[in-house]
Structure 1
Amino acid sequence: MINKSITRLLILSLSATFYCLGTISTVSAQNSFSKIKISGTLNVFEKDSIVLTYRSCKLPLGESAYLPYNQKTVAISDEGGFEFELPDTSLVYFNLSYKAKDGNIKEILNSYIAEPNDNVDMLIQNVDLNGTANNTIFAQNISFSGEGIQKYKYQYLLNKNQNDNEIKWELKKNLVVKNTIEAELERTISFANTLDDSSNSLSLNYESLISNEAYQLIKFNLFAKKMNIIYKHLNIFTERINSLNDTNKRKFMNFYQTRIKSNIAIPQDVLANSAFYPSFLLRQFLFEGRTINGRSLLDQIYEISNDKLRERVLTEYILNYYTHLDDQETIASNAIKKMNDPQYIQLLKELIKNQSFGTKVVDFMLVDENSKEVKLSQFLGKVVFIDFWYTGCSGCTLYYQDLLSKVEKDFQDNKKIVFISVSIDRDKEKWLKSIKDGKYTSPHAVNLYTNGLGSNHAILKQLAVYSYPRPIVIDKQGKLYNNSRTDLRISAVRLSQILSDAINKN
């Protein structure tokens, strides 16, 4: 076990992106046509609009999966008021953000769960810890009233607790430094435990005030969230682990079995509805396939005994790994034949349709650093290379510095190709600074960003962009030419050849 805190997994981590908990069949009949109302007052000097993005609770496919979402935007009244009404009749997750007049978006609430019959009103202050009023939104200065508020108070306090724990962890993280895999993983485990450290009494206070169905999913989603953090690091260490001698490898495997590998009992119906459990399983399968059993992800997925869980994990695998697969369409088509859930089947059919080579790419419009609108259709007749990235993405930095920047130089005088760089940064100033820094892109590229919508822009859905960096090649007719990781991310030589072939194609 990780440590005793796993036995008190009582909260749901509030992640960057938002996910659905899964349809809860036990929602009472009287709630079947209930709406969700979310309103509030935002005390800022500059009034503009509030953006609410939400998903129904049918498709909890993990932390980076490509899923449908709904978005509503309302103007803030002169008094600072706003109101949303959601038609959903099941649990939903929502994000709430403030959109300023300059287009910048400030997130207020992230991945909050709402249920039918919720009628919640919130007061969002602009007073900092010193009592000074200004035009900055402080997400930790919110009060709630109305129906269902205990759930919101609970999530709000849990988020604050997690933030406080992370600050404490940062202060002490370097006190003990040992150059061993086990020591590094112990630090990772320690960080993962910041999700719920010191939250036991808080959870006990709110457990009886929250539905049992939501409580169970919250508990095991947190468990899976923590395990995701740990298995991310484990997969970084696979090469080092495999290079250990027999004695040290046995020692590490003992550490893995006793400190990481979990045998915690989780009800199958909860597993099938968990938002984070499928992504945890995929990372576990990947690690164990590389270091223990030598088996492929797909083989391990097909051995999951629970039908609903297997379909969910299989769908997430294909959505997230599609551009990594050598035989994309065959694997997805075979999976569809073995599925029963119509929504998973539809998701995979749409993926095949949108990601098949020769598919017409939707004509999108984004803005450049001068706020000038740029459309994809402007470049018809040229090969278009697009790279999606975000500030802080280490893989994006490595990709640009080690590979893409060299390829751009090879084609810098070629008028038959254009390089487009698309950032999903929500903060425009952060994006502009990253352009100047030159770590992710060049001022010579066509630099665009997703208009403050981050990863929620419609073009990301159409192109199935759910991990970064994400390079795509579009041919002269505006059709998808190549999106393969093997072709576009492995070497500058291979990428240059793909682009040359696209340029020379009639």
Structure 2
Amino acid sequence: MEKSMIIICLLFLSYQLGFSRSNKKYNETIINVKIIDKNLDKTKVPVIILQTSECAFGGVEFIKSMNSNYEQVAVKEGNVFSISSSSDVFYMRIYYAGQKVPGGSYYWIDNIYIIKSGSDLSIYLDNANVRFSGEASVIPNIQSQIIKYSYKTSESQRKLLNDKEYLPYFQELDKSLDSALQLQLGVIESNKTILGDYYVKLLTANCYGYRYYSQLRAYNFELMQNELYFKTFKKYYNEKIKVRIIPEFTNDLLDASPMFTNFLIEEFLIVDRIGHEEYGPMLPDSCIRNILKKINTNHSGILRDKLLTLFALHTNRNENALPFFDEILFNVKNKKYNNLLINKIDVKRNNIPFKDFNLENETGEIYTLSSFNKKVIVLDFWFTGCENCAVLNEAMKPIVKYFSSNPQIQFVSVSIDKSKKQWLKSVHLGNYTHSEGINLYTNGEGSNHDLINYYNITNYPTVFVIKDGAMYSSLPPRPSPNTKPGQELSENALRLIELLEKAMKF
């Protein structure tokens, strides 16, 4: 009897964990999502979004690697999602837009859940919690417990940063992140028996990755625009951060950790910035070359391939990085990562035929790629409320004026607004587009439109230059409304004009 009970308990535990690692063909994963938000505004329609990837990435790189984006308007009885996967686990981000944009840390872009393929799960959502039940629910439930203790920026830290008290800010941030890490490791320790050795190590790696990625990402953003911050941080990094102690993890664990490799990439970027005294917004090619050399020299196998892929995704909006993508693609041997690079980055190469589209303008007239035969197209993507899109529109005005009498150049703006009424209003106001251009609409599909997904557009505004139906430049110079004294156009505006004139001639 006692032996039978032990077997039954083991079978139940296996059912709940559900994370045996095998090479079988996987069935659809069925996920039933239910909203239990007591504060839900009944006059507004809540939306549930599940984003999935077979690559263990965090942050923006997860969005860039997505296999699928499932979106449904929430209904009372629950929303059923059927998710396909070709591996034993996949990675999932949950987004719930209810009464307002979620304020809870569970919906942050860095919180990626590990889900067993072929399982049957129920998920319960509100603005402050994510809870799982059913087959293979143990791991994601423990992840939710870990996320509960995620670091949150305090008002005192914001004040120190605003007051340019950088050293006290670094010290307080370190203390807060260390405190959050210890609480998260405590969750893993209290669940180590049910987790097993592999997932104890994997989730531990992820916690350390999240702790240092959060820190370095916050620093990296400021380093790009603030020289005083840069100098203070360089000293603090060499004296404090550089000497920290982090446990060692195997390559297969780091390949399966969404956050640890993101931290490694962020540190590569930080170290090269402070080593080369580069605090501008765009890394020079010398830094890019040095980072690639470090990855290829210090790492091997699947971890090297993952880091190279992450770096390519991270820098794919940096024009200085474009010449290195062929080298990265050649060096990445893992099929999963190689295919990802081909699908997500290769389509943006120059001289590759541009994807055809079928989009309407304000009056309902349909435009396709062939509508612009023998023209050079400056194609930008925007949405209402995008501040940087409005800034770019202002900066583009003198360029549009410069080419206003030239029939070879056509300016085309594509909106991802979901509301057609809002799009038409924004076009009329002229804050994001100019009257001389052609305005096109993605028919309410927004970021789910085929064209947006094909080019993996996650940052706005995004600008492409197209010539003869092919990509001419996926990273044209982006003009700025700010000019030096005595200049009518910014340096990048002049470079963009030069690029367009060259496109017309050759």
TM-score computed with the length of structure 1 as normaliser: 0.69
Pair 113,352 (structure 1): closer, same or farther in 2 beyond 3 Å: closer
- Alpha-carbon distance in 2 for matches of 1:397, 1:191: 36
CA contact (8 A) 1:52 1:71 kept: yes
- Alpha-carbon distance in 2 for matches of 1:197, 1:373: 57
Does 2:471 match 1:480? yes
Deviations 1:176-215 (Å, cap 9, x if unpaired)?
8653543454465577669658556555554544454344
* Most deviating of 305-314 and 82-91: 82-91
CA contact (8 A) 1:420 1:447 kept: yes
- Alpha-carbon distance in 2 for matches of 1:459, 1:150: 38
**Equivalent runs, 1:443-458 vs 2, <5 Å:** 445-447=437-439, 455=447, 457-458=449-450
Partner of 2:315: 321
**Equivalent runs, 1:99-498 vs 2, <5 Å:** 111-116=112-117, 118-123=119-124, 138-140=126-128, 144-159=132-147, 162=150, 166=152, 169-170=154-155, 173-174=158-159, 178-186=163-171, 189=174, 199=184, 202-210=187-195, 212-236=197-221, 238=223, 253-261=234-242, 262-269=244-251, 270-292=253-275, 296-322=290-316, 324-325=318-319, 328=322, 331-350=324-343, 353-365=346-358, 375-389=368-382, 398-401=391-394, 403-412=395-404, 414-422=406-414, 441-442=433-434, 445-447=437-439, 455=447, 457-475=449-467, 477-486=468-477, 491-498=492-499
CA contact (8 A) 2:309 2:337 kept: yes
Q: Which has the higher contact order (CA 8 A, sep 6+)?
A: 1
Q: Which amino acid in the other structure matches residue 264 of structure 1?
A: I
Pair 74,310 (structure 1): closer, same or farther in 2 beyond 3 Å: same
Calculate the aligned-residue CA RMSD, in Å.
Answer: 4.8
CA contact (8 A) 2:181 2:211 kept: no
CA contact (8 A) 1:368 1:446 kept: yes
How far apart are 1:479 and its partner, in Å? Answer: 1.4
Pair 85,354 (structure 1): closer, same or farther in 2 beyond 3 Å: closer
- Alpha-carbon distance in 1 for matches of 2:241, 2:412: 42
Give % identity: 23
How far apart are 1:267 and its partner, in Å? Answer: 0.8
Q: Which runs of 5+ in 1 are unaligned?
A: 1-25, 125-137
Aligned residues: 453
- Alpha-carbon distance in 2 for matches of 1:344, 1:448: 34
Deviations 1:246-305 (Å, cap 9, x if unpaired)?
xx96x8555213432244123132233333334433332233223226853222222223
Deviations 1:206-227 (Å, cap 9, x if unpaired)?
4544454344333333433343
- Alpha-carbon distance in 1 for matches of 2:360, 2:347: 24
TM-score computed with the length of structure 2 as normaliser: 0.69
SS at match of 2:154: helix
- Alpha-carbon distance in 2 for matches of 1:242, 1:464: 33
Pair 399,310 (structure 1): closer, same or farther in 2 beyond 3 Å: farther
CA contact (8 A) 1:385 1:474 kept: yes
How far apart are 1:363 and its partner, in Å? Answer: 1.4
Pair 437,219 (structure 1): closer, same or farther in 2 beyond 3 Å: farther
Partner of 2:89: 91
Pair 149,487 (structure 1): closer, same or farther in 2 beyond 3 Å: closer
How far apart are 1:437 and its partner, in Å? Answer: 7.9
SS at match of 2:311: helix
CA contact (8 A) 2:46 2:73 kept: yes
Pair 198,412 (structure 1): closer, same or farther in 2 beyond 3 Å: farther
How far apart are 1:361 and its partner, in Å? Answer: 0.8
- Alpha-carbon distance in 2 for matches of 1:266, 1:240: 33
How far apart are 1:230 and its partner, in Å? Answer: 3.1
- Alpha-carbon distance in 1 for matches of 2:96, 2:83: 17
Deviations 1:309-334 (Å, cap 9, x if unpaired)?
222222232344345355845x3333
